[in-house]
Amino acid sequence: MEHALLAGALITELGLQLRGGPRRVATSDLRVRILATGKATYPDITVLCGAPQLDPNDPKGHTVLSPTVLVEITSDSTEDDDRGDKFDVHYAQIPTLAEYVLVAHRERAIEVRRRGPDGAWVRVVAGPSEQVELVSVDAVLDVDALYDAALGPGAPRAITA
């Protein structure tokens, strides 16, 4: 339940901050294919900027190749993959990907991996009472506001999934 509530709160927050421009927020129903590795996946949240590049192998247009931001909300069953191979082997190979966001399920924490000008990935972590910026889409995520919106005001600072 916490996973779904966090996803809903984050989609709402990003949608409000990005409305009225060329940036759009998609749910986990949107498939992303990584051409370099061939993997197709359904991130919890995808942010697209401008016209998306569609996968030519998907004639129905349900698969994109050009996300700007990908968000995964961790869980007991996905955390190792979300923090490991899913990013290192696959997501990091997407040329348009500027930021990868991990929303923790065990504690109030948001991690952003941001591609620097030299192509190297820089890691930023925000915890309780902190904010983290998504530079590529000009958005700010307030950790406490997100977790409070999802789990209710006064929800514990440590989350149990």
pLDDT tens digits along 76-90: 898 889 999 999 999
Ranges of the chain with pLDDT below 50? 160-161
CA distances 160 to 1, 2, 4, 44, 155, Å, are 11, 9, 14, 19, 11
pLDDT at site 25: 97
Model confidence, pTM: 0.93
CA distances 25 to 48, 80, 89, 142, 156, Å, are 7, 25, 24, 18, 28
pLDDT at site 153: 80
Taken in order 99, 104, 108, 109, is the CA torsion positive or negative?
A: negative
pLDDT at site 29: 96
Element (H, E) at 11: helix 2-18
pLDDT at site 51: 92
pLDDT at site 161: 44
Range list of H helices, 19-160 = 79-83, 85, 143-151
Contact present, 66 and 53 (Cβ < 8 Å): yes
Report residue 153 as tokens: 């005001």
Can you list the domains of the chain with their CATH numbers?
2-151 (3.90.1570.10)
